[in-house]
Amino acid sequence: MFGDGSEVVVALEGVVDVKHECRRLSEEFDRLEKQLGSLAARLTNESFVSRAPQDVVAKEREKEKAWRDQRDVLANKLKSLGCS
């Protein structure tokens, strides 16, 4: 979508193997979910948060945000392709 609200729609039928793309995106989404689970567990571990240097904890929190944003983008792609 452009700043003026207009959109460009490109027909991908016959150009992109939608089933393959759904499978690839789903695998990436699942991998990211596992990584987020591990990272969330680390960030809720009081021992880690209290003992690790503040800059390390801050970087882990930034990483968590970036991964969540990436997960949301993947979820939107899966939805837009009609993946189940």
pLDDT tens per residue, range 52-71: 999 999 999 999 999 999 99
Can you read off the two tokens belonging to residue 42? 């680390």
Q: Is residue 11 part of a domain?
A: no
Domain presence at residue 10:
no
Spatial separation of the C-alpha atoms in residues 47 and 61, rounded to whole Å: 16
Query: Within a domain: residue 7?
Result: no
**Does 57 map to a domain?**
yes
In a domain, 71, yes or no: yes
Residues 29 and 78 sit within 8 Å (Cβ to Cβ): yes
What is the token pair recorded at 46? 């009081």
Contact 25, 83 (CB under 8 A): yes
Find the domain containing 25 and state its range: 18-81
State how far the Cα of 9 lies from the Cα of 83, in Å rounded to an integer: 19
The model carries a pTM of 0.75
Domain count, the chain: 1
User: Does 51 map to a domain?
Assistant: yes
| pLDDT (tens digit per residue) in 67-82 | 999 999 999 999 998 9
